[in-house]
Amino acid sequence: MWISERHWTLLLAVGVLTVGGLALGPALFPQAHGPTVTHAEVPPPAGAQEPVAAPEYPATASVKPLISGRVNLNSASTEQLEALPKIGPALAARIVAGRPYRSLADLDQVSGIGPSTLSALTPLVTF
């Protein structure tokens, strides 16, 4: 029996091609039935610590802190960046020039950000 290419594609797509009673579609062409997706929660690495909360600085009627909570590196002013530990005017300017940031790995690419600065900024910044 002759099967046209169109019918062949249709038979493979629905997985009804059989030879001697054995269905070949799913075995030979699993993508015809769509991908199988499995979701699993990844446990934290051994020895991982809970994230440290960012400090909240008190404000008064005459004094407003430059930063409070986590600082978004993509929208913070240079003054807010300079209020972070180990960040001076030159490094704040390089951080602004390197935007946008999506992770600490992106921040680590900025010249002047070393391991100690990165560890000091980790609980204080967001993206």
For the chain, 127 residues long, the average pLDDT of each consecutive 10-residue run is 60 55 54 61 64 62 65 90 90 95 92 91 88
Structure tokens at 105: 């790995």
Domain of residue 112 covers 71-126
Please answer whether residues 107 and 84 qualify as being in contact, where contact means their C-beta atoms are separated by less than 8 angstroms.
no
Q: Residue 12 and residue 25: Cα distance in Å, rounded?
A: 5
Domain count, the chain: 2
> Do the domain assignments include residue 105?
yes
Q: pTM here?
A: 0.50
> Do the domain assignments include residue 101?
yes
Structure tokens at 107: 């921040």
Find the CATH number of the domain harbouring 87: 1.10.150.320
Q: Please, what is the Cα angle at 113 between 112 and 116, to 5 degrees?
A: 125
> Do the domain assignments include residue 114?
yes
